[in-house]
Amino acid sequence: MPIQDDITEAVLAREDVARYLQSGSDGKTPSARERVETYLDEMRTTQRHAIYKALRHPLYPILRKVDRHAEGIEHVRAATAAGRVVYISNHKSHLDYILEPLSLVDFEIRPPVIAAGINLFGGPLGVINRHVTGAIPIRRNTKDPVYLATLKAYVAEVLRSHDVFFYIEGGRSYTGEFKAPKTGLVHAALQAEITGLRIIPVAIAYDLVLEDRTLSRQGVKKSQRPFSRELAEMVGSAVGYQTRSFTTFGEPLSVDGIDHHSRRDVLDLAQRVRARIAALHKVVPTALVAAAMRPSSPPAELRARIAELVDGLRARGANLAETDPREIMENGTGLLVDRDALAVDNGIYRVRDRTLLRYYARSIAHLIAPQRAPAPVAQ
């Protein structure tokens, strides 16, 4: 397609990519140009807006399990009316890829192109990503400098004609806590050098994360598993699953005056965006109950600890879903009992799955005891 040809030519002409193209080949391995062209073929996708809007229908079996809430849409309307936008979010679940873009489609806001892990590009989901949502496949954790230069250049060129959405943590959080930000795609957005470009920080939170058991038990991502296997686990977790999701869009950040050639500027911007996302993150009852629980807790004691947490969080301006301690305790414990993280024994709440409970408690640890954010991971 012409736009793809134009993007290819623009990518090949970019300084960072052209530097590699000038290197020769030893005749045994693909040349830099061959690698760049292979990577570009892999990255090319097409967004079809009209079909995108219709995705809600085949996805209904999933969407009916999630009571979706979106906040801060006024920030998005103003930013998209003014020019090009980059959305940067935290990453909780594979449902994020569905729910966050649909939050925009629900309000008739143009959908962005999403940068997603390449493991999501197989089977029927791969067809949707390549030919409907226009998602860009990302090889995470690759060390090939030619790939990284090509990816950044491609994202920068795509941004000239589409808004872009990506996850600053890279993959999902396996512990529940906010991960260190990665700078690769932040740098790519700055390389586009688009006048008036705005970054919209986005935070997504759930009462219950669909993959919570799988993520919390693994603790860290040890290897890239086939999405078909992860999907099978998600289907099993979805039995009886009901939750709320909260997608919160923050005030746009300007990138004016930020030098993409300066590593320090890029790192500082990544830190600032991550801090905004962390502050926007909705504090839900399950997280508060998990943070307040002891090995065993009578209702009165648990409610008192929740009240103390709410007071502290409200003083810090946290984004609380509910503020009544009794309501928080009833809602949070009910969901966690259904999830087998808690049990009720003679009127006393007892921890049944400590690992799962910690997963939810860590999701608000940054708000309860604010600490210096971890250093960004350069890419």
Residue 57 reports pLDDT greater than 50: yes
pLDDT at 1: 37
Q: State mean pLDDT over 150-176.
A: 93
On whether the CB atoms of residues 214 and 233 are closer than 8 A, the answer is yes
pLDDT over 70 (residue 28): no
Q: What's CA 73's distance to the chain center, in Å? A: 17
pTM (2 d.p.): 0.88
Band of the pLDDT at 337, cuts 50, 70, 90? very high
Contact assessment for residue 164 and residue 43, using Cβ atoms and an 8 Å cutoff: no
Q: What is the DSSP string of 326-376?
A: HHHHHHHHHHHHHTTSEEEETTEEEES-HHHHHHHHHTTHHHHS--PPPPP
The stretch 75-79 carries a mean pLDDT of 97
Q: Which domains are assigned to the chain? A: 47-281 (3.40.1130.10), 283-362 (1.10.10)
What is the pLDDT, as a whole number, of residue 326?
Answer: 98
Separation CA 189–CA 187 (nearest Å): 5
pLDDT, tens digit (0-9, with 9 covering 90-100), for 277-305: 999 999 999 999 999 999 999 999 999 99
Nearest-angstrom CA–CA distance, 370 and 317: 12
Half-sphere exposure of 110 (CA within 13 A, CB side): 17
Confidence (pLDDT) at 341: 96
At residue 141 the predicted structure's pLDDT band, cuts being 50, 70 and 90, is confident
DSSP-derived secondary structure for 6-50: HHHHHHHHSHHHHHHHTS---SSS--HHHHHHHHHHHH---B-HH
CB 89 within 8 A of CB 186: no
Q: Which amino acid is present at 352?
A: R
Q: Is 201 left (phi over 0), alpha (psi -120 to 50) or beta?
A: beta
Name the percent of the chain lying above pLDDT 90. Answer: 61
Q: How confident is the model at residue 319 (pLDDT cuts 50, 70, 90)?
A: very high
What pLDDT, in 10s, does the model give residues 95-120?
Answer: 898 899 889 989 999 989 999 888 77
Q: What is the mean pLDDT of residues 131-153?
A: 86
